[in-house]
Amino acid sequence: MIKLLHFADAHIDIANYGRHDPESALPVRVMDFLGALDQIVDTAVTEKVDLVIFAGDAYKDRNPQPTFQREWGKRIMRLSQAGIPTLLLIGNHDISPAAGRAHTLQEFNTLAVPDIYVADRLKLWAPDELGVPVQVIAVPWISRSRFVTREETAGMSTDEVYAFMEEQLQQRVGKLVKKADPDIPLILTAHASVQGAKYGSERAVMLGHEIILSGGMVNDKKLDYVALGHIHKHQLLSGEGIQPPIVYPGSIERIDFGEAHEKKGFV
C-alpha cells in the first residue's frame, strides 16, 4: 500500500489585493494561501509520502505574475528536493486562452525538474515513469478546442458538442483502464466536475461550458482511488467505506465568504 497526499485548487493569487505584508511585500491573504501550501508540503515531507497528486489550478490568473510563479515554484521544489514523486495535473485556470501558449506549469517540464511530473494530456502513467508502484490515469482539464475537431462537431449545438465530448472521454478513459495492469494499484485523477457533486462558491470563477464526468466513469471498481480537483467544496462522493473513494479535497484555503464554513485542506 502506498502513502498518497492529494490536494487541488491552490489558486494562490486569487486574493491579490488588500493589506500587504511588510516583510514579503505580498498581500496578507496571499500569505494565508502560501501558508496552507507550506503545511501541505511540510506534511508530505514529514510523513514521507510515496506520491503527491495535485489535481489542478495552481493559480486563478491564467497568466500569473512572476512573483506568484516564484512562490509556487519554491514549494514544488521542496517536494523535488525531498525526492517525493509529484504529479501536477493541469486545471482550467492553468491553461492560457491563447492558442499555442504554454500552460502555467510548463517550466517544470522545460527544466526537467527531478520527481516532478506534469500531466497536461490524457495519459496512463506507469510505475516506472513515476518511480512508485502505482498507475495513474490523468485527465487534465478538457477544453473543446484541444479535444475535438471542428469537423467532428460540425452542425452540432453546444449541448450536443459537450455530450459528444463526454462520450469520447468516457471511451478513452475506459481504454486506459483496460490497458492498466490489474495487479498494480490504479488511481484516476481528473480536474473536472462529476455528476452528483455539490458546488461551492467556485461557480463564480468557472469559465463557460464544461464536461461533466459520469458517475459510471469514476465508480469503476478497477480503480483504487479517484483524486479530483475543480470543485472547491471538500466531499467524498462515493460514501463512507465504499470503493473506490471518490474525493474532492476542496480548495486549500477559503476563497471568499461563501466558503467560510467549508472544510479546507488536503487528503
- Check residue 182 and give its pLDDT: 96
Closest CA to 139 of 101, 172, 182, 109: 172
**Whether residue 116 has pLDDT greater than 70:** yes
For 215, phi then psi, to 5°, come to -60, -35
Report the C-alpha gap between 43 and 183 in whole angstroms. 29
Report the C-alpha gap between 147 and 129 in whole angstroms. 24
Report the C-alpha gap between 109 and 140 in whole angstroms. 15
Q: What angle do CA 136, 68, 122 make, to 5 degrees?
A: 20
Lowest mean pLDDT among 64-73, 100-109, 110-119: 100-109
What is the assigned CATH class of domain 4-259?
alpha beta
Report the C-alpha gap between 34 and 240 in whole angstroms. 31
**Whether residue 261 has pLDDT greater than 60:** no
Report the C-alpha gap between 54 and 88 in whole angstroms. 5
Of 70-74, 165-169, 180-184, 242-246, highest mean pLDDT:
180-184
Task: Count Cα neighbours of 8 within 13 Å in the Cβ-side half-sphere.
Answer: 30
Amino acid at 99: A
Residue 165's SS3 state is: helix
Residue 87's SS3 state is: strand
Strand 246-248 to 235-236 pairing: antiparallel
pLDDT tens sequence across 44-97: 999 999 999 999 999 887 788 888 899 899 999 999 999 999 999 999 888 876
How far is C-alpha 79 from the chain's CA centre?
17
Residue 187's SS3 state is: strand
Closest CA to 204 of 5, 63, 6, 11: 11
Q: What pTM, to 2 d.p., does this model score?
A: 0.88
pLDDT tens sequence across 166-178: 888 999 999 999 9
